[in-house]
C-alpha cells in the first residue's frame, strides 16, 4: 500500500520545498494541487476519504501549504468539515513553513534557557512565522509582545492569535531599527521574524543590553535580521547572550518537517497544527 500525500496549496504553484521534504519524510508519492480554496477543495477531500478501506486510510494524508497563513487556516477548516466518523485522513498545516520554523526556533530557545515568566519580543511578528512563534512563547509562559511598523497590523495579529489560541499578546509599533532597539530594552528573549534580507536590529541595539538572555533569528538571507550574529549560530554565546541563527535551528526545522510528514502515516485521525508540531519539536530539540 503506497503512502500518498496530497499537497493542498493556496498558491498557484505548489511549493517545491514542501514537495521535496514530503518525499524525504517518507511519502511514496506526492500529488500537488494549487490555487485551492474552501470552495473548491471539497471534491479532492472526498477522493482521499472514500477510496481506501478503514485499515488502509492511514496511508493517505493531506499537507496544507502556501504563502498565506490565514488562507491555510481557512482551508484546514474546510478540509476538516468534510470528515465524519471514520471517513477522515491525517492533515498537517504548515503555510509558509510557519509552524515548523517557529516550533524549531522556540524549541531551541526553550532548550537553552527558561522561557516561563520572561519578557519576550517577536520582531516583525505579524507574519506567519512571527505569529506562530509568539503563540508558542506565550504557551511556554512568556509575556510576549510583537512589533510591526504599523500598530494596526500588530493589533490585528494579536487579536487573531487570541481568537485562535486564547493567548494574550501585546502589540507594539516599531517602524525603524532604533524603535525596535527601544522595544527590546526590557526583554529577556528576542525572536526576529522579519522578511528575508532585512536587518531589524543593529548590533549596538542588543550587545550591551544587560536584560537579554536568548535570541533567535529566522532570516538566513543577508543581511540577516539581527546584526552582529551569524546565521550558523547554534546556541552561540555572543556578548553573554545565547544566539540561534536561521541555519542553526534550521537543521531542526527540516528534521521536524520530515518527522511530522512521517507521523501523518501512523494513523488516519491526526491534525498537526501549531500545538501538535511544537510538542513534537520539543521532544526533538
**DSSP H helical segments within 40-89, as ranges?**
42-49, 69-81
Half-sphere exposure of 145 (CA within 13 A, CB side): 20
Same-domain check for residues 20 and 32: yes
Instruction: Give the C-alpha separation, 235 to 279, whole Å.
Output: 20
Same-domain check for residues 226 and 276: no
Beta carbons of 114 and 203 less than 8 angstroms apart: no
Extract the C-alpha cell encoding 17.
Answer: 520545498
Question: Among candidates 124, 120, 101, which has minimal Cα distance to 193?
Answer: 124
DSSP letters for 210-230: TT--EEEE---SSSPSBTT--
Same-domain check for residues 172 and 112: yes
Residue-level pLDDT at 158: 97
Same-domain check for residues 143 and 231: yes
For the chain, what is the total number of helices (H) and then of strands (E)? 9, 12
Domain total in the chain: 2
Same-domain check for residues 105 and 245: yes
Residue-level pLDDT at 145: 98
Residue-level pLDDT at 124: 96
Same-domain check for residues 163 and 38: no
Phi then psi for 271, rounded to 5 degrees? -120, 110
Residue 18 is part of a domain; what is its CATH number? 3.40.50.10280
Same-domain check for residues 27 and 167: no
Half-sphere exposure of 110 (CA within 13 A, CB side): 22
Same-domain check for residues 142 and 232: yes
What is the residue whose three cell numbers read 516599531?
A: 174
Residue-level pLDDT at 163: 94
Same-domain check for residues 91 and 127: no
What is the domain extent for residue 206?
Answer: 100-249
Extract the C-alpha cell encoding 10.
Answer: 493556496
Same-domain check for residues 66 and 190: no
Per-residue CA distances from 85 to 54, 81, 82, 174 (Å): 11, 11, 10, 48
CA angle at 146 for the pair 143 and 147, rounded to the nearest 5°: 145
Instruction: Give the C-alpha separation, 125 to 134, whole Å.
Output: 7
Residue-level pLDDT at 18: 98
Extract the C-alpha cell encoding 152.
Answer: 494596526
Instruction: Give the C-alpha separation, 276 to 285, whole Å.
Output: 15
The dihedral sign for the CA sequence 114, 270, 22, 130: negative
Same-domain check for residues 148 and 235: yes
Beta carbons of 215 and 190 less than 8 angstroms apart: yes
Beta carbons of 124 and 200 less than 8 angstroms apart: yes
Half-sphere exposure of 144 (CA within 13 A, CB side): 32
What is the residue whose three cell numbers read 471539497?
A: 42
Beta carbons of 63 and 94 less than 8 angstroms apart: yes
Same-domain check for residues 242 and 264: no
- Per run of 10 residues, the mean pLDDT along the chain (length 285 residues) is 98 98 98 98 98 97 96 97 97 97 98 98 96 98 97 96 96 96 98 95 96 97 97 98 98 98 98 98 97
Task: Give all strands (DSSP E) within 124-231, no chain letters.
Answer: 143-148, 170-173, 189-192, 214-217
Extract the C-alpha cell encoding 44.
Answer: 479532492
Amino acid at each position: 500500500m503506497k503512502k500518498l500525500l496530497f499537497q493542498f496549496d493556496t498558491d498557484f504553484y505548489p511549493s517545491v520545498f514542501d514537495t521535496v521534504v514530503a518525499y524525504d519524510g517518507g511519502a511514496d508519492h506526492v500529488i500537488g494541487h494549487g490555487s485551492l480554496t474552501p470552495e473548491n477543495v471539497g471534491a479532492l477531500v472526498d477522493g482521499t476519504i472514500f477510496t481506501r478501506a478503514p485499515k488502509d486510510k492511514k496511508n493517505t494524508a493531506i499537507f496544507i501549504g502556501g504563502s498565506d497563513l490565514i488562507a491555510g487556516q481557512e482551508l484546514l477548516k474546510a478540509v476538516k468539515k468534510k470528515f465524519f466518523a471514520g471517513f477522515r485522513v491525517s492533515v498537517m498545516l504548515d503555510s509558509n513553513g510557519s509552524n515548523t520554523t517557529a516550533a524549531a526556533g522556540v524549541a531551541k530557545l526553550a532548550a537553552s534557557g527558561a522561557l516561563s515568566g520572561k519578557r519576550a519580543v517577536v520582531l516583525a511578528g505579524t507574519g506567519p512565522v512571527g505569529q506562530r512563534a509568539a503563540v508558542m512563547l506565550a504557551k511556554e509562559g512568556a509575556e510576549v509582545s510583537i512589533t510591526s511598523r504599523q500598530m494596526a497590523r500588530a493589533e490585528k495579529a494579536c487579536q487573531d492569535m487570541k481568537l485562535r489560541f486564547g493567548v494574550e499578546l501585546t502589540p507594539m509599533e516599531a517602524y525603524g531599527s532604533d524603535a525596535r532597539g527601544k522595544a527590546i530594552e526590557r526583554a529577556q528573549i528576542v525572536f526576529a521574524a522579519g522578511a528575508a534580507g532585512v536587518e531589524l536590529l543593529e548590533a549596538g541595539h542588543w550587545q550591551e543590553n544587560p536584560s537579554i538572555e536568548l535570541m533567535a533569528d529566522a532570516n538566513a538571507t543577508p543581511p540577516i535580521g539581527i546584526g552582529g550574529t551569524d546565521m550558523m549560530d547554534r546556541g552561540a554565546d555572543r556578548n553573554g547572550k545565547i544566539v540561534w541563527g536561521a541555519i542553526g535551528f534550521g537543521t531542526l526545522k527540516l528534521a521536524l518537517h520530515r518527522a511530522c510528514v512521517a507521523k501523518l502515516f501512523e494513523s488516519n485521525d491526526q491534525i498537526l497544527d501549531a500545538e501538535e508540531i511544537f510538542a513534537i519539536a520539543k521532544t526533538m530539540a
